[in-house]
Structure 1
Amino acid sequence: MQKLYFLSILLLLCTCNQPVEKVAADKAANTNKGQLFIIGGGKRPESMIRKLVGISGIDKNGYGIILPMSSAEPDSAVYYAKIQFSTLGLENVVGMNFNKGDTITEAQQDSITHASMIYIAGGDQNKFMDIVGNTPIESAIKEAYRQGSVIAGTSAGAAVMSKKMITGNELRHPEYEATFRNIESDNIELKQGLGLLETAIVDQHFVKRSRHNRLFSAVIEHADLLGIGIDESTAIIVKGDSAEVVGDSQVIVFSNPEQSKKQAGTLLGAESIQVDILLPGSRFSLNR
């Protein structure tokens, strides 16, 4: 009788644990119906733009919106971005610029929400988030992604995809610009991005500008996140919890599965860091 009692308790505990684990898994999953098209900057080959057009469906119906707020010259950003679509015969892509503090009309918010494709131009990701963060524009972008839109971005437009966004600034060495010279604690500056990609930090122009040190720093200090370095003329297409590499170069994925972190003074160290160098056509999971 006593054995049967304990067996019953064990079965009850197993049964109760299953839904809890399922809820946790469901909560972690990317349930958005849309896709992300995250470009590492540089030139965008025609094959890449055709891929973007194809998955967004704007060659068949719907429309695209270019958001140029990262750029110091928004009109020029819209002009050059539109060229890459108009050369494919598409005239249903328009620019929509906002300045900090602008009142967003209901019609403007509705246009963003129902766009088949939203394209975020390059420039300065901090400028973009200063204008867009915690506004109806941000809400509209997220709702569009939730409903099934393709959200694309290049360079700064790639950086803003992350929940924790690389600003490009070094806190310890503000005079350095091109790349991090060291792997140090409390040096990489992260701010709030759009949060469309919650499990990773995105970096751009990655191989061309040798930005490895700052992603090493990121995955050591934020071990729960992947570091995704996307080179120029290259992109990842995110659908659900997986990504595919497209374009002309590589994507480098950094992870810290052991959540290792060591420190000597300001220098950071870690063991068992994983680095994957992925070629076009490769697929990878966005779950740690």
Structure 2
Amino acid sequence: MNIKGKLVIIGGAVDKGSFTEASFDKNIANNLNFFEKGILRRIINESKHHEDSRIEVITTASVIPKEVGPQYVKAFEYLKAKNVGLLNIERREQTNDPEILERMRAADVVMFTGGDQLRLTSILGGTKLHDIILDKFRNEEFIYAGTSAGAAAASNNMIYQGSSQEALLKGEVKITSGLSLIQNVIIDTHFVQRGRIGRLFQAVVGNPRVLGIGLGEDTGLLITSDGRMEAIGSGLVILVDGRNIADTNLTQVEMGRPISINNLTVHVMSMYDTYDLNTHRMDIHNSQYASELIIPAEADDDKKPQAEDLE
């Protein structure tokens, strides 16, 4: 399928700045770093009309939507976005509201906040609103952006439960269907901070065709229509590739017993690194093995490293 939209998936805790502080404007240098390199700025830049794009923030996953939603609206507006709206959809019946459906048809960007991804999919899944989002993503220059729960729900397969400490015990990780914007991946969030790598290991060993994506906080991936993923934000993205798994005991052990996996491949991405979902090639932006490294033409003898400096 020739997808025209873009996907921005974020690991959670995206740095929006401390908008609750009265002195925010005066202390902007201390409160924010996302204005130059940040994820929200990149969403605006990648959108169809940039600062004039219609952005709808949806807080369905959150149990505190009235606190979370306005923070994102204010963050986008601080970045000069001129057309930002907020949709607090808390019940499934609201997804048939003509006004809400019309607003989504007019949107260039939808931003799903964090919370509970099962709450998000159970309210939106299979509704007219869900259908509109899928249609726009497939056929228009449309961005689906999601942080935390909003990111986890973006794929066809979705982790909704599983202890980090016991993630490699058979049956501990629970998987269901997501919103299906992207196929053949499974996404986990707050990944580094909450030690969730075992959850992805179990998800991938059960179906090695699926690429596991672990997103650190204030970190994301921009996924374009050609299958290219670029790491954005300040942290790490972990990729778990099971295509070359040689052996496992998954089907031989009882529920609750440890899982063994032989030859699982793991990649680590940071800002500007890319990964091609079609060729499975990763390119490190600032590789020390690049064919043409930038080396100073001449270095003063007194600035060259001496033997004792290298010990």
Which TM-score band (shorter chain)? 0.7 to 0.9
Tell me how far 1:213 sits from its aligned partner: 0.5
Question: Quick one: which of 136, 149, 156 aligns to 1:144?
Answer: 136
Cα deviation, 1:74-101, whole Å, max 9, x if unaligned, reads: 2222111112111112241101122323
Question: Quick one: which of 190, 197, 203 aligns to 2:175?
Answer: 190
Asked if 2 retains the 8 angstrom alpha-carbon contact of 1:185 and 1:221, the reply is: no
* Amino acid of the structure 1 residue aligned with 2:59: P
Cα deviation, 1:151-170, whole Å, max 9, x if unaligned, reads: 10001111011111110x23
Asked if 1:273 is matched to 2:270, the reply is no
Within 5 Å, which residues of 2 pair with 1:127-276? 127-146=119-138, 147-167=140-160, 169-170=161-162, 176=163, 179-240=164-225, 241-263=227-249, 265=253, 266-276=257-267
Question: Quick one: which of 74, 79, 86 aligns to 2:70?
Answer: 79
Tell me how far 1:286 sits from its aligned partner: 2.1
User: Structure 2 unaligned runs (5+)?
Assistant: 16-33, 281-311
Asked if 2 retains the 8 angstrom alpha-carbon contact of 1:224 and 1:259, the reply is: no
Tell me how far 1:130 sits from its aligned partner: 1.2
Question: Quick one: which of 4, 10, 34 aligns to 1:39?
Answer: 10
Question: Quick one: which of 56, 78, 81 aligns to 2:47?
Answer: 56
Q: Provide the C-alpha distance between the structure 1 equivalents of 2:82 and 2:141, rounded to a whole number of angstroms.
A: 21
Tell me how far 1:182 sits from its aligned partner: 4.1
* Amino acid of the structure 2 residue aligned with 1:131: I
Question: Quick one: which of 100, 103, 110 aligns to 2:102?
Answer: 110
* Amino acid of the structure 1 residue aligned with 2:126: N
Count of aligned positions: 251
* Amino acid of the structure 2 residue aligned with 1:37: V
* Amino acid of the structure 1 residue aligned with 2:258: L
**Which structure: greater helix fraction?**
1
Q: How does the TM-score come out when normalised to structure 2?
A: 0.76
Cα deviation, 1:146-205, whole Å, max 9, x if unaligned, reads: 1220110001111011111110x23xxxxx4xx233412222111111111112001111
Q: Percent identity?
A: 26
Asked if 1 retains the 8 angstrom alpha-carbon contact of 2:56 and 2:104, the reply is: yes
Identify the range of structure 1 (125-134 vs 109-118) with the bigger mean alpha-carbon deviation. 109-118
- The root-mean-square deviation of aligned C-alpha atoms, in Å, is 1.7
User: Structure 1 unaligned runs (5+)?
Assistant: 1-29, 171-175
